[in-house]
Amino acid sequence: MSDWIKWTAPAAAAVSITSAAHAVQYLSIPEAQKLAFPSASSFAEIQPGRVWKAQAGGRVVGLFVFDRVIGKHLYIDYAVALDPSGRILRIDILQYRESYGGEIRGPSWLAQFKGKTRGSSLEFNKDIRNISGATLSSMHITEGVKRVLAAYGSAIR
Amino acid sequence: MAAQSDSLRRARPLLGTFVEIDVAGAARDAMETAVEAAFRAIAQVHRLMSFHDPASDVSRLNREASTRAVTVDDWTFQVLATTGDLHRRSNGLFDVSIAPALQRLGLLPGQTDDRRRAPEETPMADGIELLARNRIRFKRPDIKIDLGGIAKGFAVDRAVDVLRRCGMSHGIVNAGGDLAAFGSTPASIHLRDPRDPGRILCQVAVKDEALASTSGSFDPVRSSQAADCAIIDPRSRQPARQLAGATVRAPSCMIADALTKLVMIDPPSAASLLAQARASALIVSADGEVNASREWERARAA
């Protein structure tokens, strides 16, 4: 292993950065709706906080479904846009929060997001914008999208 | 909200992970259009190279290429040219046909109690023939390929191409840790500690280059622990276990992605491959020791 040299962490990094906890707000629900259905003039809420019918001049152009994955250390809001025949137009991640050292499902962890739309909590390391490391699985989103399709994938009447 | 910002950040689930694209320094509409086009390029790589999608080039090759030459997309052809080259340079350690072969034989861990009954030889030639006009033929009937070890990096490179062609002056494309950054200011990237993905090992500055990491895959929805890594050492036909994780920086993300696999399988022989590719690496061994290639340390000092 003579081509490899022993590496020691820079002292500054070891002190200032220890947890990978970070949060990103990508899109609000209205922003994601507009991106998915640029032609839509209105979004009729048909299930509160969850499903909207996108309409353009009285015509239905698709369905916008908001969903959330909450796991041990991860909390993701995402949206699935479906065309009128129930096919997926796009899937956007709206919000991503990763945290350790406590269960994300805990009431105190969740309480800090009540009424907040943008990630600004002390719990998160704002320096972290990009991470490389173990590949994150997005399997739970795939499973969530399957559920969304099963519920809303049939043609919109 | 955020309409004032001169940067734009979007994420989508693609390639089995979260793909994030970050651009800056252009008009909002232009950035939105560029990011959309970049995601389309990644989705296209996903469609062409998915092992599970029966309509992908990879599935078509796995079904038909051992009986006749199969025409594939330019992109698939390019990736197979690179995998063939890496296979030769690594004396067979980089092998896109090993994982499916083991899967079919039930030799991947957890699937059988007799892992010894593997086929006799690991052929040195990868058995994948590249013909004129984007045609591919497999030389043996038992060949099946999985481009999972390189397609993600290739997809990142294609997305970066699109962003540049759309006139973006700054951008980062991060496909679950395989990333590339371009622009005048370096992007700061935090590296997870492969022994504990909830923690950060260090920070690196990346500019006009790529960074890819490998360790066990990791799902924070379920646990803070990374799973056993899925890279198979063709010599032992077992998952590579010497290292807990590796990070490679290289001029392209495809090469960075592929080299992480070789570094995981055999760090000593990977050192010269890194040098040939103008790449460098940081490795964390299973027992916790962290080592860097000389170039990695030089880049840090610079």
Map out the domains of chain B with their CATH numbers: 57-145 (1.10.3980), 186-301 (3.10.520.10)
β-pair partners for B214: B246
Asked whether residue A126 is domain-assigned, the answer is no
Q: Which pLDDT band holds residue B81 (cuts at 50, 70, 90)? A: very high
Asked whether residue A15 is domain-assigned, the answer is no
> Chain A contacts of B198, Cβ < 8 Å?
19-21, 73, 100-101
Q: Between B271 and B230, where is the model more confident?
A: B271
A50, pLDDT greater than 70:
yes
B3, pLDDT greater than 50:
no
Asked whether residue A9 is domain-assigned, the answer is no
Q: End-to-end alpha-carbon separation of chain A, Å?
A: 66
Per the structure block, which two tokens stand in for B142? 């038992």
DSSP B214-263: EES-B-TTT-SSPPPP--EETTTTEE--SEEEEEEEESSHHHHHHHHHHH
Cα distances from B136 to residues B61, B66, B76, B223, B255, in angstroms, run 8, 9, 10, 41, 21
Which of B150, B178, B204, B221 best probes binding to A when mutated, by most A CB atoms within 10 angstroms? B221
A vs B, Cβ pairs < 8 A, gives 198
Which of A135, A142, A146, A149 best probes binding to B when mutated, by most B CB atoms within 10 angstroms? A135
Closest residue by Cα to residue A20 from A109, A136, A108, A113: A136
Q: Which of A6, A69, A133 sits opposite B177 (nearest CB)?
A: A133
Is B13's CB within 8 Å of A141's CB? yes
Pairing of strands B70-71, B232-233: unpaired
B231, pLDDT greater than 50:
yes
> Chain A contacts of B217, Cβ < 8 Å?
134-137
Q: How much of chain B is in helix, strand and coil states, percent to nearest 5?
A: 35, 30, 40
**Between vectors from CA B156 to CA B152 and to CA B160, what angle results, nearest 5°?**
170
A99, pLDDT greater than 50:
yes
Asked whether residue A1 is domain-assigned, the answer is no
**Between vectors from CA A82 to CA A78 and to CA A83, what angle results, nearest 5°?**
155
The H or E element that residue B84 is part of is helix B74-89
DSSP B201-216: EEEEEESSEEEEEEES
Asked whether residue A157 is domain-assigned, the answer is no
The H or E element that residue B125 is part of is none
User: Residue A139 burial by CB count (10 A; 0-12/13-18/19+): exposed, middle or buried?
Assistant: middle
Name the region of B120 (left: φ>0; alpha: ψ -120 to 50; beta: rest).
Answer: alpha
Asked whether residue A54 is domain-assigned, the answer is yes
pLDDT, averaged across chain A? 81
Q: Specify the pTM.
A: 0.88
A19: helix, strand or coil: strand
> Chain B contacts of A136, Cβ < 8 Å?
17-18, 176-177, 217-220
Residue of chain A whose alpha carbon sits nearest to that of B189: A130
> Chain B contacts of A118, Cβ < 8 Å?
1
pLDDT recorded at residue A115:
43
Q: Which pLDDT band holds residue B181 (cuts at 50, 70, 90)? A: very high
Closest residue by Cα to residue B248 from B196, B200, B202, B209: B209
Domain extent, residue A65, equals 20-121+133-152
The Cα B21–Cα B159 span in angstroms is 9
φ, ψ of residue B30 to 5 degrees: the values are: -65, -40
Asked whether residue A14 is domain-assigned, the answer is no
Asked whether residue A128 is domain-assigned, the answer is no
Rounded to the nearest angstrom, the minimum Cα separation between A24 and chain B is 9
Which of A15, A34, A116, A130 best probes binding to B when mutated, by most B CB atoms within 10 angstroms? A130
Q: Which pLDDT band holds residue B38 (cuts at 50, 70, 90)? A: very high
Please, what's the largest Cα pairwise distance for chain A?
71
Is A137's CB within 8 Å of B217's CB? yes
Pairing of strands A131-132, B187-193: parallel
Closest residue by Cα to residue B189 from B302, B22, B8: B22
φ, ψ of residue B65 to 5 degrees: the values are: -70, -15
B216, pLDDT greater than 90:
no
A15, pLDDT greater than 80:
no
pLDDT, averaged across chain B? 88
Q: Which pLDDT band holds residue A21 (cuts at 50, 70, 90)? A: confident
Those of residues 268-287 in B touching chain A at CB distance below 8 A are 268, 271-272, 282-283
Is B197's CB within 8 Å of A93's CB? no
Question: What's the structural domain count of chain A?
Answer: 1
